[in-house]
Structure 1
């Protein structure tokens, strides 16, 4: 049994959660350094939200489901539970949501600058499309539960 499966099974037994409530295990960010920084923010309860490019309804997180947050070495750090999921144009992301992301100085301006640069790169390099203010994003909030 790998470390992720073991981590999830122990969490399920301890918290009396059905094993099929796991949505996935993933690292936040674009590289191992980001994954280490962001998983630490989540584990400390500072980061309670994330934003990603909307790709399709099939890829949306499901409210009430659980995910395992991985560090830069793909090792489990903690478990989060999805609380809210909203799709909106990038230009409509709120200051509150940016603050809940817990990154940098937590200002809207800082969040916007970092995310606009990342989404521009992601859209061009990985999705083959152009990022604009109207590009739809998924705004998700979650709670660390284990």
Structure 2
């Protein structure tokens, strides 16, 4: 976590006992738009390819973990708390979840994610498949900077 995110985290909790499970992160290729959607309450979910956690040897997210959302300049904009994590094939994601991601419609969500995952997978020499596993997270907004 960078210094600005750590300071924001510490300021938010003040003298209270802080949760220990926190990370700072930003969203894919439209970082600022998605961060603003979190701040405005439009975006209450996100997903990522399960394969990327394996390739990058990262732990999967868990419910009750916190995140400091960063903008494209790595500045903190909000704190969220993960409330649910599930692993679902992309072609089984519900319309309700897709809309919770802030893309407006299921069709928009699907088009955006097929394009994004195809490009990201190609970097590893992997071909996109409709049933690729996604790590689907729901979160609630805790604080806005």
TM-score, normalization by structure 2: 0.88
User: Offset at 1:21?
Assistant: 2.7
Give SS of 1:59's match: coil
* 1:40 and 2:36 are equivalent in the alignment: yes
Aligned to 2:28: 29
Matches of 2:69 and 2:122 in 1, distance apart? Answer: 26
More helix by share: 1
How many residues align? The count is 138
Give SS of 2:81's match: strand
User: Offset at 1:59?
Assistant: 2.5
Aligned to 1:113: 111
* 1:122 and 2:120 are equivalent in the alignment: yes
* Cα RMSD for the two superposed structures: 1.7
Q: Which runs of 5+ in 2 are unaligned?
A: none
TM-score, normalization by structure 1: 0.88
- Runs of 4+ residues over 6 Å off in structure 1: none
Q: Which runs of 5+ in 1 are unaligned?
A: none
Once structures 1 and 2 are overlaid, which stretch shifts more, 66-75 or 54-63?
Answer: 54-63
Matches of 1:44 and 1:134 in 2, distance apart? Answer: 31
CA contact 1:9–1:19 (8 Å) conserved in 2: no
